[in-house]
Amino acid sequence: DGGITQSPKYLFRKEGQNVTLSCEQNLNHDAMYWYRQDPGQGLRLIYYSQIVNDFQKGDIAEGYSVSREKKESFPLTVTSAQKNPTAFYLCASSPGQGKDYGYTFGSGTRLTVV
Amino acid sequence: KQEVTQIPAALSVPEGENLVLNCSFTDSAIYNLQWFRQDPGKGLTSLLLIQSSQREQTSGRLNASLDKSSGRSTLYIAASQPGDSATYLCAVELYNFNKFYFGSGTKLNVKP
């Protein structure tokens, strides 16, 4: 079955450490996204990519970095510059701009600073 | 920037009741609107997608309508069940922009 796989499900980060969250899709979607969800809040867009080797900042990109070297993969690195990284991170994909098929989401990664 | 508001933030109803969840958005030039369900600690599951040329979509006991001119969408759940308990989020995509903006969700509790 096609879908989006996020790993790991739970991740613990020490102060000053960079960590990378994995997102892989086998839906042949062009566009991929990273969202952050905090308790009681909606989803906020971190980064998105509409095509391989290209990505754009979302509303809260500071302290995060991404790469899009392959169509299937869109890893997110939470850097030490992100001062409040504890949150639930969701990856999504869509067929691309102008296509009427909406978003598909992964199951999420919960990141905790220890 | 598109602002998406969902009312109410939380709702508790007895089993069997029909209910309506509301979603409003500030920019009427939207492309698609999508309703999702989220269970605690889980990702989002797509329920209904209303495409740019449509006004409503139905799936089982769920019906979603869209009125672009008034900036509103409603999700109607018929004959609610305890298994419907979850947070429901709506998301709107600005025309030709391929980014979705999310509301904060409505947390639904259906009591047996």
The pLDDT tens digits of the residues spanning A42-96 come to 899 999 999 999 999 999 999 999 999 999 999 999 998 888 999 999 999 988 7
Show the tokens assigned to B71.
């900036």
Cβ–Cβ contact A47 with B under 8 A? no
Residue B96 has pLDDT above 80, yes or no: no
Are B44 and A58 a contacting pair at CB < 8 A?
A: no
Closest by Cα among A65, A76, A75, A85 to A16? A85
DSSP string computed for B57-110: EEETTEEEEEETTTTEEEEEE-S--GGG-EEEEEEEEETTT--EEE---EEEEE
Minimal Cα–Cα distance from A32 to chain B, Å?
10
Cβ–Cβ contact B25 with A under 8 A? no
Residue A15 has pLDDT above 90, yes or no: no
The pLDDT tens digits of the residues spanning B55-86 come to 999 999 999 999 988 999 999 999 999 999 99
Measured between CA atoms, the residue of chain B closest to residue A42 is B104
Q: Which residues of A touch B34 (CB under 8 A)?
A: 102-103
Cβ–Cβ contact B62 with A under 8 A? no
